[in-house]
Chains A and B, each alone.
Chain A
């Protein structure tokens, strides 16, 4: 089969690989019909995630058709059109049985501090991802769901991570009616988080980014006020000014490891890879939120230490909430919102690339060319 493979930082190509086999009785093999590149794939692409091996296939956002199932699979059959959450999880361990699907203990031998994720390095279990013609899906009775008949392919694809994560980010903010919510990052997750903040009753939603075309999307798609941080010497002071000196009630970090805007952090984290991520957005969140407020983190960080301003968080009495989204928990409610027309997830898809052009797709997305917000890969 054809599959995207990693060759080293900033380098990927399409190669011939063996079609994956059933390795466990509850495995399924899925023929991928659509995959997406995620902002967090860029952390892998830039060589920031420890134990990212040459020859592995990325892609934790994909939908497809069931090709083959293992002997113990009861809920899926060949031919089913399915969406697969980015989490690999067993459904029965201590954590899964408490709903913490993204923190499963049975699927990632490489680390106990993170669950399993498709195509996300050996630090997340060493699974190949879905930017390929076929992919192995473990625990087929647990993760995948049959896509509802009424749902479009790109809408379903967005539910496998970005939409679920964005909604989850807003939810971690514990928004109450009338709250002022600031979202750092106008990528897919930030756009969905801003949109979801309104569902939870926010009184004001402000999105911060540096790319004008993405801020435009934040205004049109998420009805948000926008701030381009490159226009301000100190964006925290600006955020305080627009909130009467108080700061926001809730701040959501939807940026993660590659936050730009601070030279030292950029060089030590993004370039030299001596931090688990450049916590510029997180530090702005800690300083921009009001005392007693909540910071929600859904941007991805690596396992190495990051230079976070913890003293400010302590002295301000903040609540810090974070996790990888337990995607499937979000689905029933999100499906209702899509069906009721409260949002159309596929509105943010800007680019569609054939699998053969995956290297160019990564370059366009990484370098933020051509107004790219969400690129989709068609195998």
Chain B
């Protein structure tokens, strides 16, 4: 037995062997060029780096409409995004999440998630009412399955997403199933009442 085979790693002080620096340097472009911590750009973690800022506190962007903010902020930040302002029922839910709960509270994030789901329904109804209903074929990009051979990507594959794909229609479809079920029950109840009267 060579000394290398004698090692009992973990249970003694021996460490597993790796290739030598010379071998690695010859095989891998750039091996070891940043061995020195001083060459690594975010070391140390906190340090002053000139940023180009020529202000101590930036000028404030104007608040043209009330802008929701985390209650952990002491004021509206001087700069903020203005895309997609709050509106409708989803806006009410989101505004409540911001006004009432800090980022430390699960309710804050779960309400925001609820607002997201509500807004999707709102926007579907809106686009339908505007005569431009959503086109799921275009929006899901599912046409790419043919153009980019979706079958080949999944065939003979161990991909774990392929193994639980059967779940997707259930997860996506359960609200429709529940809504449909409630509809059927309501219709039956209505019919029953008519027959009785």
Contacts and interface: CB of A to CB of B under 8 A. Distances in A.
Interface of A: 7-13, 23-26, 47, 50-57, 72, 74-75, 88-92, 96-101, 105-113, 116, 122-123, 125-128, 138-139, 141-142, 168, 171, 177-178, 180, 196, 198-201, 203-204, 210-212, 223, 228, 230-231, 243-246, 260-261, 263, 266-267, 271-273, 276, 302-305, 326, 329-334, 337, 340-343, 357-364, 367-370, 372
A330 B15 CA distance: 32
A8 B40 contact: no
B39 interface: yes
B3 interface: no
A113 B164 contact: no
Nearest to A249: B15
Contacts of B122: 54
B160 A230 contact: yes
Interface string B126-157: 00000000111011111111011110010001
19 contacts: A23-B61, A55-B123, A90-B79, A92-B51, A99-B45, A111-B103, A142-B51, A168-B42, A177-B21, A180-B16, A196-B34, A201-B32, A201-B34, A244-B9, A304-B110, A357-B141, A360-B144, A363-B140, A370-B153
Contacts of B110: 304
Contacts of A105: 77
B168 to A, nearest CB: 8
A367 B157 CA distance: 13
B141 A364 contact: yes
Interface in B81-119: 81-84, 94, 98, 103, 106, 109-110, 112-113, 115-117, 119
B31 A204 contact: no
Contacts of B117: 47
A245 to B, nearest CB: 5
A200 B42 contact: no
Contacts of A125: 80-81
A198 B79 contact: no
Given A54-B120, A180-B16, A367-B153, A228 B98 contact: no
A107 B80 contact: yes
A260 B161 contact: yes
B144 to A, nearest CB: 4
B33 interface: yes
Given A180-B16, A333-B34, A52 B116 contact: yes
B55 interface: yes
Contact of A303 (B24, B35, B103, B123): B103
A113 B108 CA distance: 13
- Judged by DSSP, the binding face of A is loop
Interface in B48-95: 48-49, 51-59, 61-62, 67-70, 72-73, 76-84, 94
B141 A96 contact: no
Contacts of B21: 177-178, 201
B18 interface: yes
A304 B109 contact: yes
Contacts of A341: 29
Given A91-B53, A128-B81, 15 more contacts: A90-B53, A92-B53, A92-B55, A110-B70, A126-B81, A198-B24, A204-B18, A204-B19, A246-B15, A337-B30, A359-B139, A360-B143, A360-B144, A363-B145, A369-B150
B84 A53 contact: yes
A272 B170 CA distance: 11
Contact of A305 (B62, B106, B141): B106
B144 A141 contact: no
A24 B79 contact: yes
Nearest to B69: A109
A242 B24 CA distance: 19
Contacts of A361: 141, 144
Contact of A139 (B79, B136, B161, B167): B79
A177 B32 contact: yes
Q: Which 8 A-B pairs have the closest CB atoms?
A: A203-B18, A342-B30, A126-B81, A91-B53, A91-B51, A363-B141, A359-B141, A230-B158
A198 B31 contact: yes
